[in-house]
A and B are shown apart, each in its own frame.
Chain A
Amino acid sequence: MSKSTTLLALAVIAAGAAGQANAQQPDYPQLTLHGYLTQGVARSDSLQVIGIDKRGTTDYRRAALLLRYATSRNESFVVQLAHRRLGNSPYAADDPDVRLDWAYYERRFASNTRMKVGRSPIPMGIYNETRYAGNTQPFYRAPFSFYFEGAYTGESIDGAVVEQRLFQSGSFGTEVSAYGGQMNLVEYSSVPQFDTNGQPTGSFAFATAKTRARNVFGTQLWVSTPIDGVRLGTGTNRYSTDAGLLGGGETKSWHASFDSRFERALARAEYRDTSMPRLGMRAWYAQAGANLFGGLWLNGQSETMTATAKDIVISPVLPPMTLELKYNRDDAIGLNYVFSPHLVLKTEVHHMKGLNFEENINPIGAPLETNYAITSLSFAF
């Protein structure tokens, strides 16, 4: 039996047990089961964007089963099994059908402290912990320039996460998190090509590489404001990688977040600055959404990433260069119909400009443009 099939079989057995447990009185131990599925159909009009090409694809999906076994009010064991498909994208080319997203032990302490040990979601920004739960997102995915898709941003950490809540009785409730351990990353880049003599040919190929980030340490701070629904956040992290597409070394980043969510509107913005030995990235985005009537929402988003790439070999006749790149600009508009918090239908159109395509692109060439659209249905229970 394959590993994916084994994981799925265990999930089905646990689901049956959870159904029985949920029907009983809420004494402990208690087993609960939740899950979601987002199925999309997508097409671009020219270039390939995160697995979406001119031919279109329905192999665009994210699903998960989340099991929580609480032995008491203060102790839980959590497992999440997940499935992801990204069309033709190299990011997900080696993804198994079912993978272990999370597996951690959680302990709460009376002092508003919570600790997770194992593989758990990284508390970073507004969307990292819920990035694939489509019914919680205004668009199909969290803004790529900030959150990537498993690239440069670990989605979960193998280690420990500690969270402390402070000043919960006042108007400035605060939540501080810290995490440490190791995580998996996917690096991607336009890689210069070399001939058999080791000389650069002047052409480039889009490449991805899985790597392991070590000595990961990060923090996240959220502060609520007296305006209900509005909070501000910031965080930092650092990690080390062995030589990869970008030569390895230490990476540091920091980010700032603004999050406002009201009954009929939302407005969010985040900024992130990342520095590696040979690459610096700056990304920001802004989102706004309004409930027009009933369950119909209109959402808009603009995201941008710029990069500074050092020691890039462009041509055999030129010395290594430092490039300032307007790497990505993605403007999107979308309509969502929220049948319920558990069922959301989305359709969105994006206009993308820059170099962030899954194509063999010359980084010093003119930025390219494409449009792409995604229609998706998200269900959760």
Chain B
Amino acid sequence: MALTSSPGLSPVFQIMSNRWFDGARLVVAVAVAVAITPLAPRSAAAQSRSFVVVVNASNATSSVSKGDLSKLFTKKKRNWPGGAAAMPVDLATGNPVRDAFSVKVHGRSTSAIGAYWQQQIFSGREIPPPERRDDDDVLAYVRENAGGVGYVAASAKLGNGVKALTVTD
């Protein structure tokens, strides 16, 4: 069928229509150029803040791979190797230790993980782990829950009831 323009097409939109493919080519070129640009660290300061992953002292697990740790925090895995329920806890959004954990373990920024959780919430599939304001609150959560797993600043004093977990690549 031959294509015909609507007689009601205004001059402004007619111009837009005539230049449509030129604009589309430019858009595709820009999108490809940006997409292949390597991801620069969102925050060099966040990267430099090291963290330690902590679990309840009764947890038999002593090490976990980065991939499995990411799955625990995105709830793609819900149990420890022995079958006990995992209970991850995040630091609050905006905390630089959380930013560093997100880039190092998830390979994504906190914002990108936030977008993942929006998809999970509004598809009715899952809700994100609880958030705690600071290191002390995270340690208290992990101490109180046998399956608890969290992360705190490397300089934090762990105290009784929690232990550090080795994260392997």
Taking Cβ atoms with an 8 Å cutoff, the residues of A that contact B are 25-26, 32, 34, 36, 45-47, 54, 64, 66, 68, 73, 78, 80, 102, 104, 106, 108, 110, 116, 120-121, 129-130, 133, 135-136, 165, 168-169, 173, 228, 262-265, 267, 288-292, 298, 300, 326, 331, 333, 338, 340-342, 349, 351, 353, 366-371, 380
Interface string of B126-169 (1 = CB under 8 A from A): 01001000000000000010000000000000000000000000
Q: Which of B114-128 contact A (CB under 8 A)?
A: 114-115, 117-119, 121-125, 127
A290 to B29, CA, bound (A): 11
User: A303–B77 Cα gap in the complex (Å)?
Assistant: 36
- Contact status B127-A136, CB under 8 Å: no
Choose from A32, A46, A121 the contact partner of B123 (Cβ within 8 Å). A121
Whether the Cβ atoms of B124 and A371 lie closer than 8 Å is: no
Q: How many of chain B's residues have a CB under 8 angstroms from any CB in A?
A: 52
B118 and A135 contact, CB distance less than 8 A:
yes
CA gap between A201 and B77 in the complex, in Å: 62
**Most central of B5, B68, B87 by chain A CB within 10 Å:** B5
Interface contact A47-B6, CB-CB below 8 Å: yes
Pick the contact of B122 from A133, A264, A289, A369 — CB < 8 Å?
A133
Q: Knowing that A129-B122, A262-B39 are A-B contacts, what are 19 other residue pairs whose CB atoms are under 8 Å apart, sorted by A's residue number?
A: A26-B130, A34-B121, A45-B9, A68-B127, A121-B123, A129-B124, A133-B118, A173-B76, A288-B28, A290-B30, A292-B34, A298-B27, A298-B34, A331-B24, A333-B24, A338-B111, A369-B5, A370-B6, A370-B9
**Bound CA–CA A370/B130 (angstroms):** 47
- Please give me the residue from chain A that is nearest to B16 by CB atom: A371
Q: List 26 interface pairs A-B (beta carbons < 8 Å), by A numbering.
A: A25-B144, A45-B10, A73-B78, A73-B85, A130-B123, A133-B122, A136-B118, A165-B76, A173-B76, A228-B107, A288-B28, A290-B30, A290-B31, A290-B32, A298-B31, A300-B24, A300-B28, A341-B118, A342-B118, A349-B16, A351-B17, A366-B3, A369-B3, A369-B9, A370-B6, A371-B16
B residues near A262, Cβ cutoff 8 Å:
35, 39
Number of A-B contacts (CB under 8 A): 139
| B76 closest partner in A (C-beta) | A168
A116 proximity list for chain B (CB < 8 A): 124
Which residue from A104, A165, A168, A366 sits with its C-beta under 8 Å from B2? Answer: A366
Inter-subunit contact A45/B130 (CB<8 Å) = no
> Interface residues, chain B, CB within 8 Å of chain A?
1-6, 8-10, 12-13, 16-17, 20, 23-24, 27-28, 30-32, 34-35, 37, 39, 68, 71, 76-79, 83, 85, 87, 107-109, 111-112, 114-115, 117-119, 121-125, 127, 130, 144
